[in-house]
Structure 1
Amino acid sequence: MSRVDNGEVLALVALLRHTEARKSWRAVVNEVRELGALGVLHREHPQTLLDPDPVVALLEAAQRDLRAWSEVARVLTLFDDDFPPQLREVHDVPAVLFARGRLAARGETEQGACIVGSRKASPEALRFAGAVATALVRRGTAVVSGLAEGIDTAAHRAALEAGGRTVAVIGTGIDQVFPAVNKDLQQSIEREGLVLSQFWPGSGPTRSSFPMRNATMSAYGMCTLIVAAGEQSGARIQARQAVAHGRPLILTRSVATSTEWGRELARSAYDVQVIGDVDAAISAIDGVLQRPRRLDDLLADLAK
Structure 2
Amino acid sequence: MGMTCPSEEHIALVALLRSLPKGTSWSDATERVLEHGSAQAAWASRDEGALLPDPATPDMLSSARSDLHSWADHGWRFLSILDPDYPSRLREIYQAPPFLFARGRVMPDDLAVSVVGSRKASERARDIARLIAGDLVEAGITVLSGLAEGIDTAAHEAALDADGRTVAILGTGISRAYPESNRELQDTIAEAGLVLSQFWPDAPPQRHSFPMRNAVMSGYGRATVVVEAGEHSGARTQARKAVEHGRPVILTDDVVASTEWAKKLQGRPGVHVATNRAEFMRHTHQVVEQERDAERLFNELVGSGW
How far is the alpha carbon of 1:296 from its aligned partner?
A: 5.4
- The aligned counterpart of 1:98 is 101
- The aligned counterpart of 1:289 is 288
- Pick closer, same or farther for the CA change 1:20–1:220 going to 2, 3 Å: farther
- Pick closer, same or farther for the CA change 1:52–1:14 going to 2, 3 Å: closer
Q: 1:138 & 1:212 partners in 2: Cα distance?
A: 30
Q: 2:20 & 2:167 partners in 1: Cα distance?
A: 30
CA contact (8 A) 1:41 1:55 kept: no
CA contact (8 A) 1:3 1:9 kept: no
CA contact (8 A) 1:45 1:54 kept: no
How far is the alpha carbon of 1:39 from its aligned partner?
A: 4.0
Q: 1:22 & 1:52 partners in 2: Cα distance?
A: 20
Identity score, percent = 45
Structure 1 residue runs of 4 or more that deviate by more than 4 Å after TM superposition: 45-49, 296-301
SS of residue paired to 1:164 = coil
Where in structure 2 are the equivalents of 1:65-104 lying within 5 Å? Answer: 65-72=67-74, 73-104=76-107
Q: 1:103 & 1:297 partners in 2: Cα distance?
A: 23
SS of residue paired to 1:97 = strand
- The aligned counterpart of 1:110 is 110
Letter aligned with residue 71 of structure 1? D
Where in structure 2 are the equivalents of 1:3-82 lying within 5 Å? Answer: 4-6=6-8, 8-19=9-20, 21-35=22-36, 36-44=38-46, 49=52, 53-72=55-74, 73-82=76-85
- The aligned counterpart of 1:145 is 145
How far is the alpha carbon of 1:207 from its aligned partner?
A: 0.8
CA contact (8 A) 1:9 1:79 kept: no
Letter aligned with residue 14 of structure 1? A
- Pick closer, same or farther for the CA change 1:65–1:291 going to 2, 3 Å: same
Q: 1:62 & 1:166 partners in 2: Cα distance?
A: 31
SS of residue paired to 2:155 = helix
How far is the alpha carbon of 1:295 from its aligned partner?
A: 3.8
- The aligned counterpart of 2:183 is 183
Q: Please report the TM-score for the alignment, with normalisation by the length of structure 1.
A: 0.91
Q: 1:82 & 1:177 partners in 2: Cα distance?
A: 24
- Pick closer, same or farther for the CA change 1:83–1:298 going to 2, 3 Å: closer
Where in structure 2 are the equivalents of 1:200-239 lying within 5 Å? Answer: 200-239=200-239
RMSD over aligned Cα, in angstroms? 2.1
Letter aligned with residue 177 of structure 1? A
How far is the alpha carbon of 1:109 from its aligned partner?
A: 1.2
Letter aligned with residue 99 of structure 2? V
- Pick closer, same or farther for the CA change 1:20–1:114 going to 2, 3 Å: farther
Q: 1:174 & 1:57 partners in 2: Cα distance?
A: 25
SS of residue paired to 1:126 = helix
Q: Please report the TM-score for the alignment, with normalisation by the length of structure 2.
A: 0.90
Q: 1:175 & 1:65 partners in 2: Cα distance?
A: 14
CA contact (8 A) 1:172 1:178 kept: yes
- The aligned counterpart of 2:160 is 160
How far is the alpha carbon of 1:192 from its aligned partner?
A: 0.7
Deviations 1:50-107 (A, max 9, x none): x863322221111111111112211111121111111111111111111111111xxx
How far is the alpha carbon of 1:45 from its aligned partner?
A: 5.5
Q: 2:296 & 2:43 partners in 1: Cα distance?
A: 45
Structure 2 gap segments, 5+ residues each: none
CA contact (8 A) 1:227 1:251 kept: yes
- Pick closer, same or farther for the CA change 1:20–1:213 going to 2, 3 Å: farther
CA contact (8 A) 2:34 2:82 kept: no
Deviations 1:254-288 (A, max 9, x none): 112221110111132x2100111111111111110
Letter aligned with residue 13 of structure 1? V
Letter aligned with residue 88 of structure 2? P
Q: 1:151 & 1:52 partners in 2: Cα distance?
A: 49
Q: 1:296 & 1:5 partners in 2: Cα distance?
A: 31
Q: 1:102 & 1:252 partners in 2: Cα distance?
A: 31
Q: 1:65 & 1:260 partners in 2: Cα distance?
A: 46
